Amino acid sequence: MIARRLAFRSFVDYAASVRHAVLDVQILARESRAWRLDRRRLGDVLLERGAEGAPYLATVSPAWRTLCFTFTADTGDGRSLDAWEAGDRALCRLAGGARASLVVRRPGEWFAVVAGASAVATLGGDPDPEPGTSVVIPRPERLASLRALASRALEASEGHEGTAAGASASLGRTLLGEALAAFADGSRAVPPPSHARIGRRPVLERLEEFLARRASEPLYVAELCEATGLPERTLRFILAEQYGTSPVRLLRNRRLCQLRHALLGGADSDQSVAAIATRFGFRHMGQLAADYRALFGEAPSATLRRSREGEPLEALAPAEYPEAEPAYELVEPT
C-alpha cells in the first residue's frame, strides 16, 4: 500500500486524521508551519509519521486491545506524556484503553507503530497488557535502528504502486518486532522530576477532569486553583513547567480552540459567528476577533465562510506563518 501523505491548515483536521489514537487537541500558540501526516498499512501493523504545526496539549486515547509505540522522528525535547519527559531519547508505549496526557512544547515530528493483540502475540509480546502508558529509554543503537526502519518503510512506497502484500506484511512484522525489542531489551524507565514537592500528574489529572467537566463554560483562574487545590502562584509555575503557558492563556486558547471546532462544523447551521461564540462565553466580539486572528491567522467569519463553502483547508504557504511565540517565563514559586 502506498503511504498516504496529507497536509493540513488546521490542527482540527490533523487530529481527526490521526488513526493510531483519538486525539483531543488544544494548541497553545499560533501555528508556525503546516501539520503533516504520512500513513502506511503494513499487513497487521499501522505506521504513521506526523509533523506538528504548533505547541499543543492533547488527550490521547488508543483503541482497545491495541499496542502503540511512539517516538520522535527528529532531535530535541520539549514533550511529555503523563508528566514523564518523552524527548528524543524516549520510547513511549500506550496500551489500548489508556487515556494519556500529551504536551508538546516545541513542534516536532514523531512516529507511531500500532498493532492489535494477535499481531503482538505472534511476536511473543503480551497481547493484553494493563491499559496505561510507559516511557523508557532504549539503548541508543536500538532507537536509531527503529527510526531508520520506520523511515525506510515509508520511503519504500514513494514512486511505486505499493509493494507486494507479503513483503509489506513482513516489513510490518519486522518493525513491530523492533519496537517490542527496543522497549524490552536494556531499557530503563524515565522517572518524573525527583525535585518536585508536588506531584505533577495528579495536578494535571485534576485539571483535565475539571476542564472536561466544564467543557462549554467560561472559566476563571480562581476556579482552576480551587479544582487543583493550589495557590495561584504554584499553579502558574506548574502550568509554565508542564504546558509552557500561563493559566490565563490556557483558558483563553481553550475557548478559542473550542470555537474553531464549532465554526469548522458550522456548515449546516445558519447561526452567526456571534451566536456561536456566545455558547463559549465570548461577549466582546471585537476582542474575540483580535484574539482569534492572533492564534489562527484569520477572522472567525473567514473560518465559518470556508466551512459553509466547502473550501479545502489547504496548507498555508510558509510566508503566512509568523515567528513562534516566546516561551512563558518560568519563575519558581517561593
Contact criterion met (CB below 8 Å) for 114 and 20: yes
Residue 153, amino acid: A
pLDDT in tens, 35-83: 999 999 999 999 999 999 999 999 899 988 899 999 999 777 788 888 7
Whether 5 shows a pLDDT value over 80: the answer reads yes
Q: What is the pLDDT of residue 202?
A: 85
Neighbours of 177 (CB within 10 A): 17
Contact criterion met (CB below 8 Å) for 168 and 42: yes
Q: Mean pLDDT lowest for which of 127-136, 150-159, 229-238?
A: 150-159
Whether 267 shows a pLDDT value over 60: the answer reads no
Whether 317 shows a pLDDT value over 70: the answer reads no
Q: pTM value?
A: 0.82
Identity of the highest mean pLDDT range in 216-220, 291-295, 319-323: 291-295
Q: What is the pLDDT of residue 213?
A: 83
pLDDT band at 197 (very low <50, low <70, confident <90, very high): low
Residues constituting the chain: 334
CA dihedral 51, 52, 57, 62 (to 10 degrees): -30
Q: What is the pLDDT of residue 65?
A: 86
Contact criterion met (CB below 8 Å) for 28 and 249: yes
Q: What is the pLDDT of residue 126?
A: 86
Angstrom distance (rounded) from CA 182 to CA 309: 48
What number is the average pLDDT over the span 228-256? 89
Residue 321, amino acid: Y
Average pLDDT, the chain: 83
3-state secondary structure the chain: CCCEEEEECCHHHHHHHCCCCEEEEEECCCCCCCEEEEEEEECCEEEEEEECCCCEEEEEECCCCEEEEEEECCCCCCEEECCEECCCCCEEEEECCCCEEEEECCCCEEEEEEEEHHHHHHCCCCCCCCCEEEEEECCHHHHHHHHHHHHHHHHCCCCCCCCCHHHHHHHHHHHHHHHHHHHHCCCEECCCCCCCCCCHHHHHHHHHHHHHHCCCCCCCHHHHHHHHCCCHHHHHHHHHHHHCCCHHHHHHHHHHHHHHHHHHCHHHCCCCHHHHHHCCCCCCHHHHHHHHHHHHCCCHHHHHHHHHHCCCCCCCCHHHCCCCCCCCCCCCCC
Whether 87 shows a pLDDT value over 80: the answer reads yes
Sign, Cα dihedral of 34, 23, 123, 42:
negative
- Domain 200-320: which topology? Arc Repressor Mutant, subunit A (1.10.10)
Q: What is the pLDDT of residue 165?
A: 73
Q: Which of 334, 263, 194 is nearest to 12 (CA)?
A: 263
Angstrom distance (rounded) from CA 123 to CA 300: 50
CA 81 to chain centre: 10
Q: What is the pLDDT of residue 115?
A: 95
Angstrom distance (rounded) from CA 69 to CA 114: 6
Q: Mean pLDDT lowest for which of 97-111, 185-199, 312-326?
A: 312-326
Q: Where are the domains of the chain?
A: 4-189, 200-320
What number is the average pLDDT over the span 277-303? 92
Q: Mean pLDDT lowest for which of 155-164, 177-186, 271-280, 292-301?
A: 155-164
Angle between helices 285-296 and 247-264 (to 10 degrees): 90
pLDDT in tens, 7-48: 988 898 899 999 989 998 999 999 889 999 999 999 999 999
Q: Which residue has the higher pLDDT, 1 or 183?
A: 183
Architecture of domain 4-189: Sandwich (2.60)
What number is the average pLDDT over the span 177-194? 77
